[in-house]
């Protein structure tokens, strides 16, 4: 997914000389092509994410489109005050990119598990929040983010994610990507856990259930129309995210459903307000915290 992002960033930078990339002393295997092609638009700010973000805000206020890039929690929580005060408050054209959302850096422990980032950035006024589910969504989101005015947050996986879509027609910021339709259960996901959501949908379809599936590459603004459509025709709405269930997709969907009553039951899949004290590979941690395809399908079936 990160390779799809940097490829799209370079293509956009060839057409727009205001695009700059600022990194926090990492990612050289990925960002080197940008640095080599645009040396005057690349800055290594060092391991100083607060300075990186403040610098990006200043550059943006002088007319640049600035992408900041780091892993896990470092470009968000470490510099939250700078994002809030310097970027979002001024509606500055800063695009904050997190590589390794969720459990991607699982073996490195909870300091590297980005499991509260969507909630935190979604709470900030003037911040648009993206979490693409596969390579195609990552490409579309990157293009849309660079064209979108104001501060944005982009949460990506790392690499090796499945290609779910062949292509996406007429991608729009704030619109869900519909994968399949159904009338019994609707599974909504955001981010790179799309593959587990799709596998869970297949397991449920094999049991004879009618399952709809939608990916939400834009978490804010949220596609309320799609949520309400399925809340009014399905018995169960399930939200799936590699994130705390508080403040992320599950909370966002709950807010919409609470303000527009329906007969659907909401089931939220994610971390149940806990820190990930277990370490291990991404798939292992998904299994441990109940967000593997099998665990998702089993719990939905129990509630149907």
As beta bridge partners, residue 97 has 69, 154
Residue carrying structure tokens 């930078």: 13
Q: pLDDT per residue over 6-55, tens digit each? A: 999 999 999 999 999 999 998 778 899 999 999 999 999 999 999 999 99
**pLDDT at res. 237:** 98
26 and 45 Cβ atoms separated by less than 8 Å: no
**pLDDT at res. 206:** 97
Distance CA 294, CA 267 (A): 15
Angle between helices 2-15 and 135-147 (to 10 degrees): 30
How much is the average pLDDT of 267-296? Answer: 95
**pLDDT at res. 28:** 77
SS3 102: strand
Q: Where are the extended beta strands (E) located within 139-294?
A: 151-156, 177-180, 185-189, 211-215, 218-220, 236-244, 265-271
The pTM of this model reads 0.95
**pLDDT at res. 16:** 96
162 and 134 Cβ atoms separated by less than 8 Å: yes
- Could you check whether the bond before residue 59 is cis, i.e. omega within 30 degrees of 0? no
As beta bridge partners, residue 147 has none
Joined tokens for residue 243: 């994130």
**pLDDT at res. 66:** 98
**pLDDT at res. 89:** 98
97 and 146 Cβ atoms separated by less than 8 Å: no
**pLDDT at res. 158:** 79
Q: pLDDT per residue over 117-164, tens digit each? A: 999 999 999 999 999 999 999 999 999 999 999 999 999 987 777 888
Distance CA 252, CA 153 (A): 16
* Percent of all residues in the chain with a pLDDT value above 90, rounded to a whole number: 89
Q: Where are the extended beta strands (E) located within 172-235?
A: 177-180, 185-189, 211-215, 218-220
Confidence of residue 277 (pLDDT cuts 50, 70, 90): confident
Q: pLDDT per residue over 186-226, tens digit each? A: 999 999 999 999 999 999 999 999 999 999 999 999 999 99
**pLDDT at res. 291:** 97
Q: How many C-beta atoms surround the C-beta of residue 1 within 10 A? A: 24
| Domain 2-156 identical in fold to domain 177-303 | yes
**pLDDT at res. 244:** 96
Q: Phi and psi dihedrals of 46, rounded to 5?
A: 80, 180
230 and 264 Cβ atoms separated by less than 8 Å: yes
207 and 301 Cβ atoms separated by less than 8 Å: yes
The residues spanned by each domain of the chain are 2-156, 177-303
Lowest mean pLDDT among 63-67, 80-84, 107-111, 231-235: 107-111
**pLDDT at res. 162:** 82
Report, at the CATH architecture level, how domain 2-156 is classified. Answer: 3-Layer(aba) Sandwich (3.40)
- Our CA angle for 101, 106, 112, nearest 5°, is 60
Q: pLDDT per residue over 52-98, tens digit each? A: 999 999 999 999 999 999 998 999 999 999 999 999 999 999 999 99
Q: How many C-beta atoms surround the C-beta of residue 202 within 10 A? A: 14
Does residue 174 carry a pLDDT above 80? yes
How much is the average pLDDT of 263-267? Answer: 95
What CATH number is given for 177-303 in this structure?
Answer: 3.40.50.920
**pLDDT at res. 26:** 85
Residue carrying structure tokens 């390779």: 3
Does residue 239 carry a pLDDT above 80? yes
């Amino acid at each position: 997914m990160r390779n799809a992002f940097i490829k799209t960033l370079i293509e956009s930078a060839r057409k727009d000389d205001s695009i700059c990339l600022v990194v926090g002393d990492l990612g050289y295997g990925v960002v080197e092509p940008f640095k080599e092609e645009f040396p005057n638009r690349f800055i290594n700010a060092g391991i100083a994410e607060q300075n990186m973000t403040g610098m990006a805000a200043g550059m943006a206020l002088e007319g640049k489109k600035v992408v900041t890039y780091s892993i896990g929690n470092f470009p968000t929580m470490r510099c939250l005050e700078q994002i809030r005060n310097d970027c979002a408050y001024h509606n500055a054209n800063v695009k904050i990119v997190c590589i390794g959302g969720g459990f991607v850096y699982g073996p490195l422990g909870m300091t590297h598990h980005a499991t509260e980032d969507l909630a935190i950035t979604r709470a900030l006024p003037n911040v648009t929040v993206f979490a693409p589910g596969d390579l195609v969504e990552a490409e579309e989101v990157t293009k849309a983010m660079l064209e979108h005015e104001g501060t944005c947050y982009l949460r990506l996986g790392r690499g090796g994610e499945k290609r779910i879509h062949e292509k996406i027609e007429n991608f729009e910021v704030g619109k869900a990507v519909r994968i399949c339709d159904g009338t019994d259960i609707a599974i909504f996901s955001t981010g790179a856990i799309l593959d587990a959501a799709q596998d869970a949908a297949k397991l449920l379809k094999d049991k004879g259930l009618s399952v709809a599936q939608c990916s939400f590459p834009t978490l804010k603004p949220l596609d309320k129309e799609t949520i309400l459509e399925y809340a009014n025709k399905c018995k169960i709405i399930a939200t799936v995210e590699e994130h705390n269930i508080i403040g992320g997709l599950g909370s966002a969907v709950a807010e919409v459903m609470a303000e527009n009553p329906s007969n659907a039951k909401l089931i939220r899949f994610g971390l149940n307000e806990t820190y990930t004290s277990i370490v291990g590979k991404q798939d292992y941690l998904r299994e441990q915290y109940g967000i593997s395809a099998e665990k998702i399908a089993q719990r939905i079936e129990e509630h149907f």
